[in-house]
Amino acid sequence: MPGDAPDPPLGPRAAHPLTTHALVDMAVAFLATVILGLILGVSIGVIIGVSVVAGLCLAPFTHRTEVRQLAARDEATDPDARPHDPRPHDGS
């Protein structure tokens, strides 16, 4: 509503693990190829295989992109803060 205070900035967080990126990238690759693959008569096994390979190949790139985006977000919300540590926290 007009006149409301802006939302507070998001706090810093670690990037998602590489396995999460691999699984999401596999799912996206599968969804991107399944319809066309089935129309062209490609077997579902081949489509799944291509999706797994594509997901594993793309995961490092999407992970690196998330790390850069989080660092830029943290810098934009608090320019005096120290750089974001992209390593996941082990809870200790």
Domain locations in the chain as residue ranges: 18-75
- Full-prediction pTM beyond 0.85? no
What whole-number distance in Å separates Cα of residue 62 and Cα of residue 20?
A: 10
pLDDT > 70: percent of the chain: 80
What whole-number distance in Å separates Cα of residue 65 and Cα of residue 78?
A: 20
DSSP code, position 65: H
In sequence order, what are the residues at sequence separation of 6 or more whose Cβ sits closer than 8 angstroms to the Cβ of residue 6? none
pLDDT tens readout for residues 54-72: 999 999 999 999 999 998 8
Q: What is the number of residues in the chain? A: 92
> Do 30 and 51 form a contact (C-beta atoms < 8 A)?
yes
Written as six digits, the tokens of 51 are 């999706």
